[in-house]
Amino acid sequence: MNPRFEALVRAVGGSSQAFPPLRIEEEKSLPPYLPIKYAILRQRLSKQEARAKGKMDIDGIDVQRARNTAYVQRHGWEIIGDYTDADLSGEVFEEGERFQAMMRFIRKLPEEKRRATVIVFKAPDRMGREVRKMLNVLYELQGE
């Protein structure tokens, strides 16, 4: 059990009565997030990094994919997509052809499957370099 949850259970003396009962409408809807079962791999390489290939290959597409795949396998998730944009600046990541294809794919997933899916990338800058744009993507994926 997650240590934070253990502390919460101890704090309420292990009694489920300490928590308010679910409201009827909450019982009928899906929880905000389901246990993760599926993963979409996301890799991005900028033009500048592509030109430097061979000098410093820590962010090469193959390295990113290998690390993403290993992470997914460690968690036992099923890979349902793999989207790579090469020669694409992190400042305009949302303009990438494969990024847009990934977003279309995610939008078509049934709600329950979408809520049990994560996008895996090697590091935040492999998704994009503009936090505001990345938050906009997050809000879009959450349906807000």
For residues 117-132, average pLDDT: 82
Report the distance separating Cα 134 and Cα 93, nearest Å: 9
Pick the CATH number of 37-142 from 3.20.20.70, 3.40.50.1390, 3.40.50.10310, 3.40.50.720: 3.40.50.1390
pLDDT at 1 exceeding the cut of 60: no
Give the pLDDT confidence score for residue 68 in this predicted structure.
94
What's the whole-model pTM score? 0.69
Q: What is the pLDDT of residues 40-59, one digit of tens each?
A: 999 888 765 555 555 556 67
Domain positions in the chain = 37-142
Share of the chain above pLDDT 90, in %: 28
